[in-house]
Amino acid sequence: MRLATFTHQGTTRLGVVVDDAIVDLAAAASELPREMCAFLAAGPPALAAARAAVAGRTARLPLASVRLEAPVLRSQKFLAIGLNYADHVKETGMTAPDFPVFFNKQTTCIVGPSDPIHRPRISPLLDYEGELGFVIGKRCRHVPKERAAEVIAGYLVVNDVTVRDWQFKAQTMTLGKSFDTHGPIGPWIVTADELGDPHALELRTWVNGELRQHSNTRELIFDCFDQVATLSTAFTLEPGDIVSTGTPSGVGVTQQKWLVPGDVVRVEIAGIGAIENHVIEEPAETQRW
């Protein structure tokens, strides 16, 4: 299934995307939660009810009539990993890590698959990073690699937008990775059973139609299951947590091609879909206290 969060006629709820339509779960299965973290926490019964709603072929809306939001609006954690493709390690001139290099993106950076990305007033060094992300579906701790697939609800597309000078100012990288609007995700969550092998997916990133990144998730140094095992050794993972798995070569910093207002960034992963975000100047109204 392709699980989505969408807004229609002023109300935000969950749906299942089928071809060019979306099954409105609030109408077709009203007993289900209307927020993604709660839906995933409800486990197999909720997924079964959603599948039954799709099979019932009712409560369908044209996909073009709704606004797709970030699939997970209130994630507890947004985790990401650096230097996780060999070609990206090479282009940075750094050494491949022996242990995964994780960092946090603050969840306030999350925006939807077509929402604008702000170029912050504090820095012009704005960069893109097309990545495969996955979403945790089960509260878990100390998950062995061979069982990691059992706790992943599904997969989505991520743009790990980065303010490079702020990234390098702080060793944890969190500041430069967490500016508001710098976590576009979507367009939906493709459930693990539908996607199949997450480590054989073509990934491409375009800026204004120019192909900047082109790789395959088989090139991950630490794959999705490695990442679950490592993270869950340290702390509990919860339904709705997002993990972004790293970016391949072709990022802007290595070419000194920074994102500027008017640019359009499209990240596409085979078997999942694409997100496309326009870059704008940070609006004045973001200054508030």
pLDDT at 289 (0 to 100): 82
For the chain, how many structural domains are there in total?
Answer: 2
- Burial grade of 134 (CB within 10 A; 0-12, 13-18, 19 or more): buried
pLDDT at 149 (0 to 100): 98
Instruction: Say how far apart CA 235 and CA 172 lie, in whole Å.
Output: 18
Domain that holds residue 41: 2-68
pLDDT at 240 (0 to 100): 98
Same-domain pairing of 168 and 53: no
- Walk along the chain (289 residues) and give the pLDDT tens digit of each residue: 999 999 999 999 999 999 999 999 999 999 999 999 999 999 999 999 999 999 998 999 999 999 999 999 999 999 999 999 998 888 888 888 999 999 999 999 999 999 999 999 999 999 999 999 999 999 999 999 999 999 999 999 999 999 999 999 988 999 999 999 999 999 999 999 999 999 999 999 999 999 999 999 999 999 999 999 999 999 999 999 999 999 999 999 999 999 999 999 999 999 999 999 999 999 999 988 8
Same-domain pairing of 129 and 44: no
Same-domain pairing of 46 and 95: no
pLDDT at 170 (0 to 100): 84
73 in a domain, yes or no?
no
Same-domain pairing of 89 and 157: yes
Last residue of a domain, one of 45, 68, 91: 68
> 235 with 141: CB under 8 angstroms?
yes
pLDDT at 94 (0 to 100): 82
Dig out the tokens for 201 from the structure: 């997916």
Same-domain pairing of 85 and 17: no
> How many other C-beta atoms are found inside a 10 Å radius of the C-beta of residue 90?
12
10 in a domain, yes or no?
yes
Instruction: Say how far apart CA 130 and CA 204 lie, in whole Å.
Output: 7
Rounded to the nearest 10 degrees, how much is the dihedral formed by the CA atoms of 146, 246, 142, 225? -10
pLDDT at 90 (0 to 100): 86
- Listed residue (79, 78, 80, 98) closest to 89, CA to CA: 98
Helices (H) and strands (E) in the chain, counts: 8, 19
pLDDT at 285 (0 to 100): 92
Q: Which helix (H) or strand (E) holds 47?
A: helix 44-56
pLDDT at 87 (0 to 100): 86
257 in a domain, yes or no?
yes
pLDDT at 84 (0 to 100): 95
Last residue of a domain, one of 68, 91, 121: 68
Q: What is the CATH number of the domain that holds 166?
A: 3.90.850.10
pLDDT at 242 (0 to 100): 98
